[in-house]
Amino acid sequence: MSVKGLLENDLRTAIRRKGYSYRTEESYAGWYKRFVIFHGKRHPSTMGVAEVEAFLNHLARNRRVAPGTQNQAFSALLFLFKEVLKVALGPIDAMRAKEKKRLPVVLSVDEVRRLLAQVPEGTPRTLVGLLYGCGLRVNEALRLRIKDADFENRLVWVREGKGGKDRSLSMPGRLAAALERQVAGARLLFDQDVESGGARVWVEPSLDRKHGHGLSKSWPWFWVFPAAARSVDPRDGLQKRHHLLEAAVSRWISGAVQRAGIEKKVSAHTLRHSYATHLLMKGIDLRTVQEALGHSSVKTTEVYTHVIHALSGRAGSPLDDL
């Protein structure tokens, strides 16, 4: 194996030790490779601040990437130097990708009702209903474990959401029965896995080791929205039951939007935007909505007040006075 191949292995090992998702692992490894190729396949140990700045400038100036994409590349390189190469980079003075300030697309209450009516019943409608009913990010919904559905207290727990924070949300009363049916269906798959050699799902390795590798095989840690078939986890080569994939949710929503005749660009995140906007329109205070969304800063949540102002047409029009 080449030196660079060994370094990629070291990078992946460091990511796994931190408990980051496989999606993050693939993203960081990809940025590492692009960084090395950009600099003529030099080893990162021979590079530093100047090379990182040059790469980030290239992304902003030549590739014209979105701010989030550039930030992701920056985070990947910071991780590489700090956690793998054990090098502290100095201040980075790079051209920043320009962020276009756009208001999020929001559905009306009637549009949400029409959309949900067109989502196939069962798992699809339950999951999409949670996106709107709890304002979840799509991956937060997909990664829900059985233990996170607290039927006794009517709560849905989000564990280690964006920024590593936990939060609890009110379980929509209209979804409680559907969610119980979903859990019952998941139990059937869990029992099938046990009978065919043992149920196993992904759990952060150090946490699973701490509990004698029992969490990954236990019912409380099983997925609420498990995939129909088991597959091999590329991180350790073990066969596991994964949760449903984001692509499936996107297909459900795009199909429902088309059937409902909604002429807006709608994604899973649109339902989260709609959840926040509708709560504020009902008079829920901004701080409460911030906590429900899991935003670190209330500034992030304030964008929805601008949405409400735009929807209300606050300034009016002088044409109506003629």
Q: CB–CB of 273/104 below 8 Å? A: yes
Rounded-to-integer distance, Cα 65 and Cα 74, Å: 12
- Respond yes or no: is residue 61 known to be catalytic: no
3-state SS record for the chain: CCHHHHHHHHHHHHHHHCCCCHHHHHHHHHHHHHHHHHCCCCCHHHCCHHHHHHHHHHHHHCCCCCHHHHHHHHHHHHHHHHHHCCCCCCCCCCCCCCCCCCCCCCCCHHHHHHHHHHCCCCHHHHHHHHHHHCCCCHHHHHCCEHHHEECCCCEEEECCCCCCCCEEEECCHHHHHHHHHHHHHHHHHHHHHHHCCCCCCCCCHHHHHHCCCCHHHCCCCCECCECCCCEECCCCCCEECCECCHHHHHHHHHHHHHHHCCCCCCCHHHHHHHHHHHHHHCCCCHHHHHHHHCCCCHHHHCHHHHHHHHHHCCCCCHHHHC
**Residue of 28, 132, 275, 304 with catalytic role:** 304
* Distance from C-alpha of 90 to C-alpha of 49, rounded to nearest angstrom: 7
Strand partners, 155: 150, 170
Establish whether 4 is a catalytic residue: no
213 in catalytic set? no
Query: Which of the following is catalytic: 43, 61, 63, 162?
Result: 162
Name the nearest CA neighbour of 282 among 252, 257, 304, 299.
Answer: 304
Q: Which of 143, 241, 273, 295 is the catalytic position?
A: 295
Instruction: Answer yes or no: 181 catalytic.
Output: no
Catalytic residue among 230, 272, 273, 278: 272
Annotation marks residue 269 as catalytic? yes
Which of the following is catalytic: 58, 137, 159, 235? 137
Q: Which residues are catalytic?
A: 137, 162, 269, 272, 295, 304
